[in-house]
Amino acid sequence: MGLVSLRFAASASHVRTARLVAVTVARRAGLDEEQVEAVRQAVGEACALSVGRLSPDTQVTLTLDDAPQADGAGSPARLVARVGPLDVGGGVGSVGDLGLAVLGELTDHYAFESDEPGGALRLTWLHEPQQARPL
Amino acid sequence: MDLSVTTREEAGRTVVEVGGEIDVYSAPTLRDRLNGLVADGHHDLVVDMQGVEFLDSTGLGVLVGGLKRVRTHNGSLHLVCSQERVLKVFRITGLTKVFAIHDTVEQALAADTGADDKA
């Protein structure tokens, strides 16, 4: 389906918008409703973490990328959400945050990426691609 | 939907009816309302969350803060929530062990005010 990207000022008031975009993309990609709710929750937590650590004049970027059969024919589709920057100096383990604690329960995989300044949280869900449906 | 918070007195307790989304943006409003109630002497609270559509960890933090605050006054804070979507957040954070969570306001009002001391 390709990439959807949302860029917003680091304000808590925009986190709901980010959740709504993530939910729309997840439904369009064909995730089941339980997974869609997990996307809503996890993307919300990641964005809240990001805006909480940034000044309002900086920007947060949320990207959502749905890749059908990402690992070859017969493999599950993969929805990847990426939220950054986080400004986590000591890596994601240094953040003693309740929001982070829930990410493991809400995603199939999550990781902190530090290849860009400020780093980013990468959240991954695996799903069956044939469920994809129009809105 | 934006956060809504209304309060009423019932059976000697204060029922706080919360609706909409409790997230990083709206949670401070709920925190201020709970703090205000406790400061005004309302120490036995029933937080009715049946109208809550979304709850994030910031909102959970506010509820934990409210619980701590009423306990310093020997008060109580009971929750009313039967929606799976919201209950799941309590479950994955282990907070079902901290809060007394009821299906209805009536059940919460019937429960002993000390029932939330199970943690």
Give the residue extent of every domain in chain B: 4-110
A102: which chain B residues are within 8 Å (Cβ-Cβ)? 57, 89, 92-93
Q: What is the tens place of the pLDDT at every residue in A35-47?
A: 999 999 999 999 9
**Average pLDDT, stretch A90-118?**
76
Q: Which of A3-7, A67-71, B59-63 has the lowest mean pLDDT?
A: A67-71
Residue corresponding to tokens 């680091």: A10
DSSP conformation letters of A11-47:
-GGGHHHHHHHHHHHHHHHT--HHHHHHHHHHHHHHH
Nearest to B93 by CA among B52, B49, B57: B57
CB contact (8 A) between residue B24 and residue A19: no
3-class DSSP state for residue B118? helix
Can you list the pairs that A20-24 forms with residues at least 24 positions away whose Cβ atoms lie under 8 Å?
A21/A62, A21/A64, A22/A62, A22/A64, A22/A81, A24/A135
| pLDDT at B115 (0 to 100) | 46
Q: Is A35 on the interface with B (CB under 8 A)?
A: no
Query: What is the pTM for the complete model shown?
Result: 0.89
The alpha-carbon gap from B10 to the nearest alpha carbon of chain A, in Å, equals 33
Say how many C-beta atoms besides its own lie within 10 A of residue B7's C-beta: 18
Q: What DSSP state is assigned to residue B104?
A: S
Q: Kind of pairing, strands B76-80 and A109-113?
A: unpaired
How far apart are the CA of A70 and the nearest CA of chain B, in angstroms? Answer: 29
Rounded Cα gap, residues A45 and A120, in angstroms: 13
Q: Are the C-beta atoms of B52 and B88 separated by less than 8 Å?
A: no
DSSP letters, A57-120, are TSEEEEEEEEETTTTSTTSPEEEEEEEE----TT-GGG---HHHHHHHHHSSEEEEE-SSTT-E
Angle at A82 between CA A80 and CA A83, to 5 degrees: 155
Considering chain B, what is the average pLDDT of its residues?
A: 93
pLDDT digits (tens, 9 = 90+) for A3-16: 999 999 999 999 99
Best A8, A14, A15, A40 member to test B by mutation, with max B CBs in 10 Å, is A15
Segment B83-113, tens digit of pLDDT: 999 999 999 999 999 999 999 999 999 998 8
- Rounded average pLDDT over B7-19: 97
Going by C-alpha positions, the residue among A50, A69, A65, A62 that lies closest to residue A12 is A50
Provide the pLDDT for residue B118: 45
Report the pLDDT value the prediction gives residue A89, as an integer from 0 to 100.
56
Tell the CATH topology of B4-110. Transcription Regulator spoIIAA (3.30.750)
Q: Distance, in angstroms, between A73 CA and closest chain B CA?
A: 34
- ipTM for this model: 0.87
Put simply, the answer to whether B23 touches A101 (Cβ < 8 Å) is no
How many contacts, defined by CB atoms under 8 Å, are there between A and B? 47
Report phi then psi at B3, rounded to 5. -70, 140
